Structure 1
Amino acid sequence: MSETASRIESAVTEIAEEMQARADRGKVADYIPELALVDPAGFGIAVIDNQGGVFAAGDCDTPFSVQSITKVFTLTLALGMVGDRLWRRVGREPSGSAFNSIVQLEHEHGIPRNPFINAGAIAVTDLILSGHEPREALGEILRFVQFLADDQTIKIDKAVAASEQRTGFRNRALANYMKSFGVIENPVDYTLGVYFHHCAIAMSCRQLAMAGRFLAHSGRHPTTGRSVIHMERARRINALMLTCGHYDGSGDFAYRVGLPGKSGVGGGILAIAPGKATIAVWSPGLDAAGNSHLGRIALELLTKRLGWSIFGG
């Protein structure tokens, strides 16, 4: 094992032990009933470096609902389908508001601030749906994630999807408001059905880190060497993850961790060290902004120990 690999392995093992011993674990997302049942004691971490080395510890093979992290993959898929025409429907600016806020939509004529808040991701989902039946669009999203991760066993947690459909009143409000401005083109129930189901995709840290590798490889799938998305668009997705990936906690995450990242209320975070590695962490307890409490702390420790912040040091 190289010296660098040894440093990564030691850091991952030590951080997992530190996180599993901590008492301050945040609060699980209880507004989605199925997520409220998740044990807050879980913690997993997986790092895949750009030489293909895999370093994992804790509950790294426990599947969890990735929730909003799928917005990275739907954004990638949509950009591949329509290119920069996407930006007619959704902006690229940090929101500074909660992930399910409707306030900015009122001021900005139904155009979501960015593709990672719920309204923006619903608009992206609607674009993917256009010209397809909901089942076809959902299948395309799932197959894309399986392809990225080199893993056909990844699936949708139907219990979580059903739970979201029963309780997703704010998302319905967002979608109907955008529909009134023509931002949503398909029937709202169809778009939301696809959205709820792709947010309910379940992955382990190991699988999630695998799926995100193309963003650390300038848009290329490291197994095949083929382009998933153009290098410039991969860079722009990373930029959006840095500025918008943690809702109104994005600035603090950039300040503390210094990596592009995307969180989900299932407790996962996907982080990218461009040219170096992909990292996935999971701890279901959330902070006040809806991001994994211990996940963010673990990533801050990791980037400090390995010097991986994109800002140096």
Structure 2
Amino acid sequence: MSSRPMDWENVLNEIDSIIQPSRGQGRVADYIPALATVDPMKFGLAVALGDGNVHTLGDADEYFSIQSISKVFTLSMVLRKVGDELWESVGREPSGSPFNSIVQLELEGGIPRNPLINAGAIVVTDHLVQQQGADATIAELIERMRTLASDSAIHVDQAVAYSESEAGSRNRALAYFLKSFGNLRSPVEETLKAYFSHCAIAMNCRQLARAALFLAFDGTDPISGIQMVSSKACRRVNAVMMTCGHYDNSGDFTYRIGLPGKSGVGGGILVVAPGNGAIAVWSPGLNEAGTSEVGSLALETLVRQTGWSVFV
């Protein structure tokens, strides 16, 4: 994917013009009490480029709960630590089912379809917790993201983590199913403590886009030069994001946007444009699959304006 000079003011103005009539559309994730009160009119976008420039629009500096977007970062961590051993306990196929489906997990012998649905992300988290416990896992993840974003303000929102735990009956059921099939080795509550915590990380669009730049440049952060994951692992993460990053909405997202991405029920979407940069967008209103409705529209407009796509 080649890089070319871009009129970012024009690109962002076009996005703003397109999304304005749709602001507030979708439904906030009211099944998590701490997210139910977020203003659905909020919208932010940030584009971080390999040269260090970051272009922003709207509420790009307002913190939000990244939720399942954190799974991209825990996946990159576990691939660095255990490598392809991970794929013995989690698959790489799109689920075609809701992100918290328990039926599919039972039918398929406790092996989650992929590492980005809830059950798969719990398995990924368990691999990390096995090595160092929940607290050390979260401490390492937060430090990793602060380093990538060059911002020490990134943190776990404890109120959201508590709210997730209190409303986490389905995730507990998934974890105990995994345990019953021998696919969870740490104590269930220890793994879930780490899982709920990383889903409750609070960031803004500017920080999130910056932190994900390594995924656009073969695993190496282009600003600091630090290799976060191997080139091979980076491509694996992007491939899984492309096919599985939006649950049973993944096919439509790929059709419309054409870039690897990961959505979260906090309204955030992280997208990787290999060789160019990373994009983070936030708009709390979700479609039926749990992906930001206005965020998807903004990204569709952005790729049309920039020509960025893995299918070029």
One fold, TM greater than 0.5?
A: yes
The residue matched to 1:130 in structure 2 has which SS?
helix
| 2:210 matched residue in structure 1 | 210
Q: Is the Cα–Cα contact under 8 Å of residues 268 and 284 in structure 1 kept in the other structure?
A: yes
| 1:181 matched residue in structure 2 | 181
| 2:92 matched residue in structure 1 | 92
Task: Provide the C-alpha distance between the structure 2 equivalents of 1:59 and 1:24, rounded to a whole number of angstroms.
Answer: 14
Sort the Cα spacing of 1:55 and 1:4 in 2 relative to 1 into closer, same or farther, 3 A: farther
State yes or no: 1:266 paired with 2:252: no
State yes or no: 1:61 paired with 2:61: yes
Post-superposition offset of 1:87: 0.7
Runs (4 or more) in structure 1 with deviation over 6 Å come to none
State yes or no: 1:116 paired with 2:116: yes
Counterpart amino acid of 1:274? P
| 1:136 matched residue in structure 2 | 136
Q: Is the Cα–Cα contact under 8 Å of residues 38 and 284 in structure 1 kept in the other structure?
A: yes
1:152-197 CA distances to partner (integer Å, 9 max, x unpaired)?
Answer: 1100111100100101000000000000011110110010011001
Q: Unpaired segments of 5 or more residues in structure 2? A: none
Post-superposition offset of 1:225: 1.1
Task: Provide the C-alpha distance between the structure 2 equivalents of 1:6 and 1:133, rounded to a whole number of angstroms.
Answer: 45
Q: Is the Cα–Cα contact under 8 Å of residues 50 and 223 in structure 2 kept in the other structure?
A: no
Task: Provide the C-alpha distance between the structure 2 equivalents of 1:12 and 1:5, rounded to a whole number of angstroms.
Answer: 15
**TM-score normalised to the size of structure 2?**
0.96
Paired residues in the alignment total 310
Q: Is the Cα–Cα contact under 8 Å of residues 271 and 279 in structure 1 kept in the other structure?
A: yes
Q: Is the Cα–Cα contact under 8 Å of residues 209 and 270 in structure 1 kept in the other structure?
A: yes
| 2:192 matched residue in structure 1 | 192
Q: Is the Cα–Cα contact under 8 Å of residues 40 and 283 in structure 1 kept in the other structure?
A: yes
For CA contacts below 8 A with separation 6 or more, give which structure has more relative contact order: 2
Task: Provide the C-alpha distance between the structure 2 equivalents of 1:9 and 1:91, rounded to a whole number of angstroms.
Answer: 41
Task: Provide the C-alpha distance between the structure 1 equivalents of 2:173 and 2:167, rounded to a whole number of angstroms.
Answer: 12
Task: Provide the C-alpha distance between the structure 1 equivalents of 2:50 and 2:134, rounded to a whole number of angstroms.
Answer: 36
Task: Provide the C-alpha distance between the structure 2 equivalents of 1:19 and 1:185, rounded to a whole number of angstroms.
Answer: 45
Task: Provide the C-alpha distance between the structure 1 equivalents of 2:159 and 2:77, rounded to a whole number of angstroms.
Answer: 25
Q: What does residue range 222-237 of structure 1 map to in structure 2 within 5 Å?
A: 222-237=222-237
Counterpart amino acid of 2:265? V
**TM-score normalised to the size of structure 1?**
0.96
Q: Is the Cα–Cα contact under 8 Å of residues 80 and 233 in structure 2 kept in the other structure?
A: no
Task: Provide the C-alpha distance between the structure 1 equivalents of 2:294 and 2:304, rounded to a whole number of angstroms.
Answer: 15
Q: Is the Cα–Cα contact under 8 Å of residues 16 and 45 in structure 1 kept in the other structure?
A: no
The residue matched to 1:281 in structure 2 has which SS?
strand
Q: Unpaired segments of 5 or more residues in structure 1? A: none
Identity across the alignment (%): 55
| 2:148 matched residue in structure 1 | 148
Counterpart amino acid of 1:110? G
Post-superposition offset of 1:5: 5.1
| 1:40 matched residue in structure 2 | 40
Counterpart amino acid of 1:241? M
The residue matched to 1:291 in structure 2 has which SS?
coil
Task: Provide the C-alpha distance between the structure 2 equivalents of 1:274 and 1:228, rounded to a whole number of angstroms.
Answer: 15
| 2:19 matched residue in structure 1 | 19
